[in-house]
Structure 1
């Protein structure tokens, strides 16, 4: 809750109070005639701080865990209005399990946690943003004394603005008096702030932050947001959420771009740490998948790719999806400028292309980085038509690839050795790195995989400057993702593993 005001004649700070008229001894004063450039620089730095923190956490760099294990406490969504349109938060004091998992991960990348004071993420993040500001503000003196461990950046409706939406940064406050003094000392800055409970709201106008601070309902009590957040598995160190339908209604750019097409539903994304992996889960909520996106069943060919594949990508239902949406593409005019090239191919579209893409398609890359091999295996209902189309297209192309027909489809490869490997069950799905990196395989309509460990080992073996840089990431194992559909939307999971 808000702390009592300091003793003396200073007006008590409260929601919407900017502190612009108060003078504080020992603080850096604003210049007599501050230029607009300095004000914009500081405002931009403050407004992007939360977003930058999210990028740093998701990238897995610079995160240092405190020596104590606490978690819990107020969250930024408790200080934002219920009609918030989009929201990204970072929790530098997560639940105990997350804190220990992140600590375990970061110990594997010691060079990435260097920088800032004692490896403190907040110092690493904010110190560069305050560099060369016109008011002489520094992180150690003017921010560290009051900045807490939770921060967020959000988009909120702003009916009075041309864009219809405004950004706001929410920062946890451990010492409201110190925060008020430091921000209030910047007398001519073109940003405003207001206090709500244990957080400070930073925005472009005083009217905006005052309105947000006085909002009677908050995002954490919104039924949709609450259900979407709970749909994420386990605790999270970062969460992003957006009301797509709400954005459609207030953002003129979205209305102009989409025309008659309407955004619907919501999306939520969470970052979850494990001792040996970082997992990002994204959910589409409140919207049924289209017929095109739901075409076909789960992809199955990816697990049979060669076990030594460095990278793999597999998608099911591409052929059916393309043929079912071809009419809409033609009606939209999207194909008009490519019609001459399409006609020159002499294909019967979309049926020929549907046969080539088939019901399940898997692509593999193997071999050394300096001379990789690549190929694809496709399952299709009309293998003969597919191979005829490909033979016709490749006849005039100077590409080192060949087509090998199979009973249920075909193989396309850059060399015979890989073609033979793709024709058999190569066992990629049985490798430890693939199993650890690719989640939800049984229901996935799309799967991706890269053996980062093998790539890094090859770069290190080659020597030189690249090898030196690659050493910093030697603990990486693999990255994998899967995408699936559900009755009310879809699910996407990305995993980065360590070794």
Structure 2
């Protein structure tokens, strides 16, 4: 489902020509009156497994549950007639000079709806909510309950008759120097007259400053003033901004939630032009991303393109070469080059932050290190930290570090650190094993030997699903939650334990190069 990190060709400036599109009445749409089907009406459901017991992952559960409830809380799978996910998107009606844009779609593509439904059915926090209610109502009621908003309104009478399934918001450049950035919201509507009345009831501002509302292609364009709303409704849309559309095409499936930002334009608004180094870095940069779902995972993916970073190409971090028994790992490549190339700036930043009058070089000398050379040697081409699933409950778990660097030089640097540690009375017992272009440092001889060989973690189905593009990733983080559940599961009971059992793994993989960077964060479910 996630698109590969794109080649990021530079975009072109958007066409600023203003065109006017006459608002037109929207025909009645019976599809907006929903009768939610049972999952069997849409095909086989992925039933939650009986689950061998698993533990603690509380913050992940809270995050996933919040997304599931917040995005579609209270709604089952959309009616079969609504599975296309087609129609006008907010970026087709919002102004093309936007510097940032976010979209929430309660009518995404069919694969997103079904995947989200099946995942939500796995958690007790969301399982009962998916019983047949309108997801828009769930959002409205959540706002009413949590924020104390709209307490005098009745959803069925004041909101449901006009509210559509999509909403988008855009941040606009200030109208003049020194002014605040503008904000405009596009809400999909089914009935313009009912929408005007409903929005008026939602508007709590004084009569003299009532919110402005205009209509464009089935959306209410909402702004601070009527003059602004009318102007935004006539503007060339964001869908004709070539930089935006190029980034959106590269993103692929936009999922339930998507976002875009012109980092260079935002930097100008923030006054970053006074910092030439930062401005050079982001002048043509944009960031694009999406929240989307697969059969057994939730995914947040994003990429930046158009950056101007003067760095050498880095090789993959190769987490897939770790042992198949790996429970968790994190790795990054290219840090050695970054430290060497950016040492002067790092020193300057450290001085600005305050270092007791000592430079980084002087601080390193206290530990017997010659900086930056020794640090560059240790970081090398890449550094990977790993913990094994075997022996995890023992007195000394199997952990280690793989340094892809010159083994002999790295041993010399480590000897300096060990001598310094011995002098302070702290001397950890670590085992070192040379490999092919790497040095392995581990807590035991057996695990050091294991790490120094060619592992087969890449063959694991869990790893493959959690780490898309791992073979080319220059940074990554992986945790097989099923392998570490013994560390926390016994402390959980009831629903909390059952929810924890659903979580299978977490993976973060991505690649950074001279002018672009991309990542994918996935949470897998049993």
Does the pair score TM above 0.5?
yes
1:359 corresponding residue in structure 2: 381
CA distance in 1 between counterparts of 2:383 and 2:69 reads: 30
2:404 corresponding residue in structure 1: 379
Report the secondary structure of 1:492's partner residue: strand
**How many residue pairs get matched?**
445
Q: Are positions 1:391 and 2:418 aligned together?
A: yes
Q: 2:367 aligns with which of 339, 345, 360?
A: 345
CA distance in 2 between counterparts of 1:214 and 1:114 reads: 44
1:159-198 residue pairs with structure 2 within 5 A? Answer: 159=175, 162=178, 164-185=180-201, 189=205, 192-197=211-216, 198=218
Distance 1:380 1:55, change over 3 A: same
2:301 corresponding residue in structure 1: 281
1:66-465 residue pairs with structure 2 within 5 A? Answer: 66-68=78-80, 69-109=83-123, 111-115=125-129, 118-131=132-145, 132-133=148-149, 136-159=152-175, 162=178, 164-185=180-201, 189=205, 192-197=211-216, 198-215=218-235, 217-234=236-253, 236-252=255-271, 254-255=272-273, 258=275, 260-262=277-279, 263-264=282-283, 265-291=285-311, 294-300=312-318, 302-332=319-349, 334=351, 337-338=354-355, 339=358, 341-367=363-389, 368=392, 373-381=398-406, 382-395=409-422, 396=424, 398=426, 400=428, 402-407=430-435, 408-456=437-485, 459-460=488-489, 462-465=490-493
1:13 corresponding residue in structure 2: none
5+ residue gaps, structure 2: 1-22, 28-62
- TM superposition shift of 1:363: 0.7
Distance 1:134 1:170, change over 3 A: closer
Counterpart contact for 2:316–2:333, Cα < 8 Å? yes
2:45 corresponding residue in structure 1: none
Residue range with higher mean Cα deviation, 263-272 or 318-327: 263-272
Distance 1:174 1:210, change over 3 A: same
Report the secondary structure of 2:293's partner residue: strand
CA distance in 2 between counterparts of 1:342 and 1:488 reads: 32
CA distance in 1 between counterparts of 2:200 and 2:425 reads: 67
1:482 corresponding residue in structure 2: 509
**TM-score normalized by the length of structure 2:** 0.75
CA distance in 2 between counterparts of 1:310 and 1:449 reads: 8
Per-residue CA distance 1:425-463 (angstroms, 9 max, x = gap):
343222221112111122211121111333456533x14
Report the secondary structure of 1:3's partner residue: coil
CA distance in 1 between counterparts of 2:131 and 2:155 reads: 10
Report the secondary structure of 1:112's partner residue: helix
Counterpart contact for 2:418–2:427, Cα < 8 Å? no
**TM-score normalized by the length of structure 1:** 0.79
Counterpart contact for 1:476–1:497, Cα < 8 Å? yes
Counterpart contact for 1:299–1:315, Cα < 8 Å? yes
1:47 corresponding residue in structure 2: none
Counterpart contact for 1:451–1:478, Cα < 8 Å? yes
Counterpart contact for 2:104–2:166, Cα < 8 Å? yes
2:521 corresponding residue in structure 1: 494
5+ residue gaps, structure 1: 6-51
2:41 corresponding residue in structure 1: none
- TM superposition shift of 1:199: 1.4
CA distance in 2 between counterparts of 1:311 and 1:427 reads: 14
Pairwise CA RMSD of aligned residues? 3.3
Distance 1:404 1:266, change over 3 A: same
